[in-house]
Every structure is written in structure tokens, then in C-alpha cells.
């Protein structure tokens, strides 16, 4: 089944396309097929997950500690 908003893409990367960029685009296409979502929706899902992960890493107050010590 072909989704109407999907565009045809070439499987051969150009010289300017990095491997990581190609992997990201492939992952986005897979997510859009699995969740039956538009590319914009997939992008929004990714951005939300990145924000959630960043928030958890920073801590509850949203600030990172200025120093880190393994105990004294």
C-alpha cells in the first residue's frame, strides 16, 4: 500500500548525503508506514521524544549541576 503523501526517493545516496542522514530519512519513512502518519507528524513525534529525553537528563528543575563529585 502506498500512502498518498509519500514521495518517491532514490535508494542510492548522493555524494552530499551522509550515511546518518540516509539512516534518519529511512527511519522516518518506516515510522510513517508503521503509524500511518504523515511526515510532519513523524517529525513532531521525534522532536517530542528528544525534548523528553533532554528534560530527563537535565533533572527536575531543568538545570544541570555546575559540578559533579563522586562522593567525599
Whether residue 24 lies inside any domain: the answer is yes
Cell of residue 46, nine digits: 521525534
Q: In total, how many domains does the chain have? A: 1
Whether residue 72 lies inside any domain: the answer is no
* Structural domain boundaries, residue 34: 19-58
Whether residue 48 lies inside any domain: the answer is yes
Whether residue 67 lies inside any domain: the answer is no
Whether residue 70 lies inside any domain: the answer is no
Whether residue 2 lies inside any domain: the answer is no
Q: What percent of the chain has pLDDT over 90?
A: 29
Q: Could you tell me the pLDDT band of residue 8, with boundaries at 50, 70 and 90?
A: low
The rounded distance, in Å, linking the Cα atoms of 67 and 52 is 23
Q: Could you tell me the pLDDT band of residue 29, with boundaries at 50, 70 and 90?
A: very high
Arithmetic mean of pLDDT, 12-26: 79
**Cell 523528553 -> residue:** 52
Task: Please give the mean pLDDT across all residues of the chain.
Answer: 76
Whether residue 54 lies inside any domain: the answer is yes
Question: Tens digits of per-residue pLDDT, 49-64?
Answer: 888 887 766 665 556 6
Amino acid at each position: 500500500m502506498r500512502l498518498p503523501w509519500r514521495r518517491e526517493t532514490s535508494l542510492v545516496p548522493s555524494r552530499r548525503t551522509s550515511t546518518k542522514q540516509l539512516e534518519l530519512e529511512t527511519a522516518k519513512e518506516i515510522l510513517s508506514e508503521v503509524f500511518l502518519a504523515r511526515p510532519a507528524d513523524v517529525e513532531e513525534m521525534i522532536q517530542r521524544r528528544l525534548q523528553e529525553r533532554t528534560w530527563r537528563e537535565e533533572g527536575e528543575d531543568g538545570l544541570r549541576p555546575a559540578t559533579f563529585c563522586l562522593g567525599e
